[in-house]
Amino acid sequence: MPDQPLLVDAHCHLDFPDFEEERAAVIARAQEAGVARMVTICTRLRTAPNVQAIAEAHDGVFWAAGTHPMSAGEEPQATVDELVALARHPKFVGIGETGLDYHYSEDSKAAQQTSLRTHIAAARETQLPLIIHTRDADEDTARILTEEMKNGNYPCMMHCFSSGEALAKTALELGFYLSMSGITAFPKSQALRDIFAAAPLDRILVETDSPYLAPPPHRGKRNEPAFVAHTARRGAEVFGLSEAEFAARTTANFDRLFAKAAAWTPQAA
């Protein structure tokens, strides 16, 4: 492997059809680019076996599962028991993605909020990180995450964080982590970069959300885990660090939050 800093893509979707014809090559390119580990996310529980199989086939790939908020109105409501059962898999490392998305799916608000609280309960029981997607729902997201913390502690990653300063402040006060996606590297995202710059470095992760949101110089094309290096390069600039130091710090953050992934070895599978 080249002498790149070792990175983690904390959130991608390797089961999506975009990767169907070259999944192994995509994973190999990521590893060549210094992305040693990836977390591939199941967004509908009925597809969990496919996502699990990808993680089982590749040492550097882990998985998480939940019901995406945009699907919460049409998919059966997950149960805490279902999510806890999935969490017994040795490479299952997170609960979600879940959350609230009122941009396209405001009509399913009630179902989304019920689903979110179920996923939080599973994260609380397993102590695996909750993976939050939120869009155009900052106030309700902050309210529910705060209310639920009073019922017992749970870890959490604010995936692809692109919300406002108020939600960032709430998330950080709750002890959560903020994850940088390719949006952070877009030229017009200075306000978002400022939010990250004001956050503690030990709460920052990097991800692709691939196949979506490719960072420059690949913007507008299919994203893939190898491209997390471009977002990390911009993240290093935001925090005034070398690329190697930023990679080391965000990887340490990942290992702290996703301790199950950090502890995994092929022999333990």
Instruction: Give the annotated binding-site residues for a divalent metal cation.
Output: 11, 13, 97, 133, 159, 209
Residue 157 burial by Cβ neighbours in a 10 Å radius (0-12, 13-18, 19+): buried
Binding residues: 11, 13, 97, 133, 159, 209
Non-local (6+) Cβ contacts of 154 within 8 A are 120, 123, 124, 127, 130, 148
Alpha helices in 163-242 (DSSP H): 165-173, 190-197, 228-239
Phi, psi of 205 (to 5 degrees): -125, 170
Cβ–Cβ under 8 Å, residues 185 and 193: no
Cβ–Cβ under 8 Å, residues 39 and 18: no
Sheet holding 61-65, edge to edge: 7-12, 35-42, 61-65, 92-101, 130-135, 156-158, 177-180, 204-206
Q: Which H or E run contains 94?
A: strand 92-101
Local structure of residue 188 (DSSP, 8 states): T
